[in-house]
Amino acid sequence: MEYRIEHDSMGEIKVPADKLWAAQTQRSHENFEIGVNIETMPAEIIHAFGILKKAAAQANNVLRKEKMTDEKLCAISQACDEIIAGKLNDQFPLVVWQTGSGTQSNMNTNEVIANRGNQIADKKLLHPNDDVNMSQSSNDTFPTAMHIAAVLMLEDKLIPACETLIATFKRLEEENEGIVKSGRTHLQDATPITFSQEISGWRSSLERDVELLKRSVDPLRELALGGTAVGTGLNAPKGFGETVAEKVSALTGKSFITAPNKFHALTSKDELVFAHGAIKAVACDMMKIANDVRWLASGPRDGLGEIFIPENEPGSSIMPGKVNPTQCEAVTMVAVQVMGNDVAVGMAASQGNFELNVFMPVCIYNFLQSARLLSEAILSFNKNCAVGIKANKEKMHHNLHNSLMLVTALNPYIGYENAAKTAKKAFKDNISLKEACVELGFLTAEKFDEVFHPEQMV
């Protein structure tokens, strides 16, 4: 491999000749061989850095035109556009497990933009610190990238994924209107419910989750940029925070504002904790929905068998013909991962010491993983399972009329205790509720038929 010599404040170091990064990135790459090629900084953070560096250059061009010339702005903007488009992803090798402020990833970005910008300009035009990092610090750029990435992830991926599944459930509600089945509480038979009512519960849960996600996005719109090293704004021109927030808003099409208190913005991660709580709420509801679906589809002969779901792949290497509810299982495993990530996000956010939180990479790594996995799992579940759910009307009818809890309809006529005796006798003697009620002398056969209508109990 060919190398070139780069230098920083610590001296010279060899860097692979084909890479755009420079000395500080190379030092981090060599010093943190933890999770290499597996747990690199999320692509969403690199994308967000491209946005914020371009916005910062634009703001500096307005406020410090003597330093951020039009020529420099043009070179930085073109390099950032390539980062935003994902064309330079291979130039960001650093892992999550680095300095807790994300300093090395900020410098990785600065070096890549400077070197790529110099290639574009065909001369030594840009310096990573003096130009690309102008008016900034790692302490305010990394939390800014976190918030930008979080907003984009929630608004562009997770919320739309939820809305896709909501639309499927609405269709299923309409298609299954009027089908009456047995309800269940405590995994035991309960009074009747319509299948559309059961589906409406799934749909409404996700609708509420979307409401919570949207509420959680607003605090994330506040950006730390303008705080620089410890929140004082040292070396940043007046109005930089406000101007750069406007530029980020224009570049993303999203609404962002400068954080009113930069000391809070640098050290507290409560907005991410709050938003991840909303993500966890989605995970909890998806766990419930996926479990409901696989229980209702259990069988095909020895389970509940009340719904049919698509058969996607063989389910066993030894049992021929077996098909498993794999999409449901994928969703539930993702839900478990999200719940675990919530602990990591909370613990990381609790570690703000004095003027900086130094657990930011692990915080955003888990946050983005949760939102990404959940988005993809929901879309997969919708495409490969939910859209193909069909009611097994015959099995629903059989289970409904075999349920002992239909005896609840008799409470107004024979009382709770006599109704309980009827149910227990029917179960013990393996006879119908009607037979038990008549044998016990609580109602005549004619009166039983007059008052007993399971389909009207919903």
Nearest to 217 by CA among 140, 147, 145, 143: 147
| Structure-token pair, residue 191 | 């009074």
State the DSSP code for 97. S
Residue 316 annotated among the catalytic residues of the structure? yes
Question: Which residues are bridge partners to 192 per DSSP?
Answer: 182
- Distance, in Å, from the CA atom of 339 to the CA atom of 326, rounded to the nearest integer, reads 20
Among the listed residues 186, 204, 205, 249, the single catalytic one is 186
- Distance, in Å, from the CA atom of 255 to the CA atom of 258, rounded to the nearest integer, reads 11
Among the listed residues 204, 255, 316, 350, the single catalytic one is 316
Residue carrying structure tokens 């016990």: 440
**What backbone torsions phi and psi does residue 8 show, to the nearest 5 degrees?**
-140, -165
Q: Calculate ∠ Cα 149-154-158, nearest 5°.
A: 130
- Distance, in Å, from the CA atom of 109 to the CA atom of 105, rounded to the nearest integer, reads 6
Question: Which residues are bridge partners to 188 per DSSP?
Answer: 185
Nearest to 360 by CA among 217, 50, 147, 46: 147
- Distance, in Å, from the CA atom of 281 to the CA atom of 363, rounded to the nearest integer, reads 18
Q: Report yes or no: 199 and 169 within 8 Å, Cβ to Cβ.
A: yes
Q: Is 242 exposed, middle or buried (0-12, 13-18, 19+ CB in 10 A)?
A: middle
Residue 147 annotated among the catalytic residues of the structure? no
**Which residues fall within 8 angstroms of residue 323, CB to CB, at 6 or more apart?**
311, 312, 313, 314, 315
Residues designated catalytic:
186, 316
